[in-house]
Amino acid sequence: MSEPRPLFPADPKATYLAHAGAINAAIARVLAGGHYILGPEVEAFEREWAAYLGDGYAVGVANGTEALELALRAVGVAAGDRVATVANTVSATAAAIQQIGAEPVFVEIDVTTMTMSPGALADVLTNAQPIKAVLPVHLYGRPAAMPEIMELARAHGAKVVEDCAQAHGAKIGDQRAGTWGDAAAFSFYPTKNLGALGDGGAVFATDATVADRVRSLRQYGWKPRYVSVAPGRNSRLDELQAAILRVKLPSLDAENAVRASHARRYLQRLAGGPWQLPPADERAKSVWHQFALRSPRRHAMLTHLAAHDIHAGVLYPVPLHHQPAYACEQKLPVTEQACAEVLCLPVHPGLTLADIDRGCDELLRWAEA
């Protein structure tokens, strides 16, 4: 019998190979077309991505971090402003805030969903110092509690920017993540649910003025061309990445459905084990960017899985308020415990149900021992 293949948290090469013919043809088309930056492919992708999300405008940018930064700037965040976000996220979320010279204020998370707690947000918003914007993260593909967050933010005059880097296609009720706030930021890093073959990102906004500001900011603050109306910068999406994203977008829902079917298998087979499974949520439909288990014994589980060539991920081991770049005095016990306990099992669409079963078998074997 041959050795079982190693399983990883993401497999961008498998994603490429699944679309190789069409991607190669799209690349050849761009190379022959002679437009390499902000051309017809970017324009077409912006239209297609906006149509997929809902009523509004998409603006392609260089990566997810800059999508967050430009979205925050476009809704009015400036140096010295305070932005409420969470600490159990990738550093990029806080980096975007810092890039503006604004200050991240970390909000405690909900103990079961691990996304921003509306109750904790209410406390932060009623605090003495005003919050200019709220930046919830749809972590692991699960949308944050947007109806409650929007209501609180509106009541306190704060803007809302959604970090959608892990939530392409997720929904709350019938409405996509990314269409709730004043703006949303997407990353197309190769391991995301919709990934390019290089860096890429986009801002989505329902308001044309916000989208226009991002369009100007991404290219030297130009409006019109050759006239800078704001201190600009360069954060452009290139034609090759846009063409590749256009090939992959029509398969996003099908690939998310494969992730969901893998997640259902984990939920069925791992029920009742010595760990905490992701909670069921009727309202918020996850796109399973990650399948995050929780256990105080995650180290032993990771070691056992790795010995069988199953490589789980730890996203994210150190909460932002404990990292040197963002260190602050805040106490966030729920966040700290989540960061100490999560481990993310491979759930990407390049895996088969047999791969998922192998992961379940090994975890159940570990639990028995």
Point out which residues bind ligand PLP (CB under 6 A).
63-65, 89-90, 92-93, 137, 163, 165-166, 187, 189, 199, 201
3-state SS of the chain is CCCCCCECCCCHHHHHHHCHHHHHHHHHHHHHHCCCECCHHHHHHHHHHHHHHCCCEEEEECCHHHHHHHHHHHCCCCCCCEEEECCCCCHHHHHHHHHCCCEEEECCECCCCCCECHHHHHHHHHCCCCCCEECCECHHHCCCCHHHHHHHHHHCCCEEEEECCCCCCCEECCEECCCCCCEEEEECCCCCCCCCCCCCEEEEECCHHHHHHHHHHCECCECCCCCECCCCCECCCEHHHHHHHHHHHHHHHHHHHHHHHHHHHHHHHHCCCCCECCCCCCCEECCCCCEEEECCCHHHHHHHHHHCCECCECCCCCCHHHCHHHCCCCCCHHHHHHHHHEEEECCCCCCCHHHHHHHHHHHHHHHHC
CB of 137 to ligand PLP, least distance (A): 5
Closer residue to ligand PLP, CB minimum distance, 90 or 125 = 90
Min dist. Cβ of residue 167 to ligand PLP (A): 8
Query: Nearer to ligand PLP by C-beta: 89 or 295?
Result: 89
Cβ closer to ligand PLP: 90 or 160?
Answer: 90
In the complex, least distance from residue 212 CB atom to ligand PLP, rounded to whole angstroms: 23
C-beta closer to ligand PLP: residue 196 or 310: 196
| Minimum CB–partner distance for residue 9 and ligand PLP (Å) | 12
Cβ proximity to ligand PLP: between 65 and 216 the closer is 65
Q: Which residue's CB atom is positioned nearest to ligand PLP? A: 64
Closer residue to ligand PLP (CB): 94 or 258: 94
Q: Which is nearer to ligand PLP, 142 or 304 (CB)?
A: 142
How far is CA 228 from each of CA 104, 219, 223, 224, 240, rounded to the nearest angstrom?
28, 9, 6, 8, 27
In whole angstroms, how close is the CB of 207 to ligand PLP at the nearest point? Answer: 22
How far, in Å, CA of 42 to CA of 35, rounded?
10
Give the nearest distance from C-beta 3 to ligand PLP in angstroms: 32
What is the nearest approach in angstroms of ligand PLP to the Cβ of residue 109? 13
| Beta carbon nearer to ligand PLP, 63 or 335 | 63
Q: Tell me the closest approach of the beta carbon of residue 215 to ligand PLP, in angstroms.
A: 19
